[in-house]
């Protein structure tokens, strides 16, 4: 594998000159540039990016740390993240934490050692302490503190919207169905928006949640359907589209048909849910916008800029499907 030295020798110039040619530094005579380029071509030389990163003491690798790329919301998010990063000349490293604290810490350590340029994290745990101060971080949906900038959708308004739409659809008692993950989660605001709006509208409501860690489809829903106070619920706001889809499925098994017997609204608006049947009504987060904003903010942090806000919220919108 030829090195810059080999190129320099063949071209009959110094290594510095070759370096300048490669980096398109203008202070090199066109004639010399030609010689060097010829040598590069002849030797089939390609610059060693690892050596460069090492010498420069910085990389263009950004890590995306999330529970599971398998989840459709995350995979869409990851898609846009990669696209945005690539446009700016950055690369993406993917880390699935499974939402487990130990794995999140493990990955953060690893990313530290590997001197990634920055991290975009969707984590379930308090990570502020586990992360070196000099590595910029953007966190999706969790707000930890000043050090870690948070990008999230307007969860509170989303929760309100859901209630408004359910009421508009004529329901008389609404339930919030949630998988909670972390106390730091901005997702909690979905519930708050839901409750406040239900209160404001003067409509009966219940909330039903389970912690992520102990979550299991069957027990969750069996439990839900068994409770007396859930019998007359005819409006559901589910935490996520996936949860909404599962609810509709389980409800159907109990003979409760959507949208005849119950109206359902999800949250997320994952693109492909056109293929879920019935087509879900949902509060859509602008995934692409959130991804691009995350990248933009992260790169600004990497450049050394200090951001003016701790939390950036992007607006959500209601998308009517067949379940309301």
Q: Which residues bind a second copy (CB under 8 A)?
A: 1, 46-51, 53-54, 59, 61, 64, 68-72, 74-76, 78-79, 82-83, 86, 91-96, 109-110, 112-115, 134, 242, 245-246, 249, 271-272, 274-278
- Count CB atoms within 10 A of the CB of residue 304: 7
Residue 54 lies near DNA (rule: CB under 7 A): yes
What, of DNA, a second copy, none, does residue 14 touch, CB below 5 to 8 Å by kind?
Answer: DNA
b (16+ CB within 10 A) / e for 19-55: bbbbeeeeebeeebbebbeebbeebebeeeeeeeeee
Q: Which is nearer to DNA, 46 or 94 (CB)?
A: 46
Pairing type for strands 118-121 and 61-66 reads: parallel
Contact partner, 246, from DNA, a second copy, none, Cβ < 5-8 Å per class: a second copy
| 3-class state of residue 297 by DSSP | helix
Rounded CA separation 250/260 (Å): 15
List 37, 47, 130, 246, residue binding DNA (CB under 7 A): 47
Is 226 a binding residue for DNA by CB under 7 A? The answer is no
82: partner contacted, choices a second copy, DNA, none (Cβ within 5-8 A by kind): a second copy
Of 19 and 180, CB closest to DNA: 19
Tokens matching residue 280: 């879900």
**Per-residue x/- marks for DNA, 4-23, CB under 7 A?**
xx------xxxxxx-xx-xx
Nearer to DNA, 16 or 315 (CB): 16
- The window from 26-34, 145-153, 190-198, 222-230 that contacts DNA (CB under 7 A) reads 26-34
Task: Give the closest residue to 230 by CA, choosing from 249, 254, 211.
Answer: 254
Choose which of 29, 146, 228, 260 interacts with DNA (CB under 7 A): 29
Report the alpha-carbon distance of residue 215 to residue 70 in Å, rounded. Answer: 17
Cβ–Cβ < 8 Å for 160, 196: yes
Q: Tell me how far, at minimum, the Cβ of 268 lies from a second copy, in Å.
A: 13
> Rule CB under 7 A: is residue 44 a binding residue for DNA?
no
Q: Diameter of the chain by CA atoms?
A: 87
Q: CB neighbours (10 Å) of residue 160?
A: 23
Q: How far is the CB of 283 from a second copy (least distance, A)?
A: 18
The tokens of 135 are what? 């590595």
Task: Answer whether 137's CB lies under 8 Å from 154's CB.
Answer: no
Residue ranges that bind DNA, judged by CB under 7 A:
1, 3-5, 12-17, 19-20, 22-23, 27-29, 31-32, 45, 47-48, 51-52, 54-57
């Amino acid at each position: 594998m030829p090195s810059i030295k080999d190129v320099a020798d063949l071209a009959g110039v110094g290594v510095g000159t070759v370096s300048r040619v490669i980096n398109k530094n203008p202070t090199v005579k066109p004639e010399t540039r030609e010689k060097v380029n010829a040598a590069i071509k002849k030797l089939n030389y390609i610059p060693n990016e690892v050596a460069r990163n090492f010498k420069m003491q910085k990389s263009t690798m950004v890590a995306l740390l999330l529970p599971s790329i398998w989840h459709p919301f995350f995979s869409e998010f990851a898609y846009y993240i990669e696209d945005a990063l690539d446009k700016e000349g950055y690369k993406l490293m993917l880390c699935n934490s499974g939402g487990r604290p130990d794995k999140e810490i493990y990955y953060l350590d690893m990313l530290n050692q590997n001197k990634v340029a920055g991290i975009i994290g969707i984590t379930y745990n308090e990570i502020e302490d586990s992360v070196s101060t000099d590595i910029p971080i953007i966190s999706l949906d969790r707000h930890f503190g000043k050090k870690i900038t948070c990008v999230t959708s307007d969860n509170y308004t989303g929760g309100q919207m859901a209630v408004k739409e359910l009421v508009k659809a004529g329901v008389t008692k609404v339930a919030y169905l949630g998988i909670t993950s972390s106390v730091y989660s901005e997702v909690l605001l979905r519930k708050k928006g839901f409750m406040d709006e239900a209160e404001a509208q003067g409509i009966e409501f219940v909330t039903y949640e389970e912690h992520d860690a102990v979550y299991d489809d069957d027990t969750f829903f069996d439990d839900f359907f068994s409770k007396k106070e859930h019998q007359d619920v005819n409006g559901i706001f589910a935490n996520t589209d996936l949860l909404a889809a599962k609810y509709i499925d389980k409800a159907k098994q109990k003979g409760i048909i959507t949208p005849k017997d119950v109206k359902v609204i999800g949250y997320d608006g994952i693109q492909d849910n056109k293929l879920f049947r019935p087509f879900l009504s949902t509060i859509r987060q602008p995934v692409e916008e959130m991804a691009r904003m995350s990248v933009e903010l992260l790169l600004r942090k990497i450049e050394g800029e200090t951001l003016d806000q701790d939390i950036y919220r992007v607006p959500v919108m209601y998308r009517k499907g067949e379940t309301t």
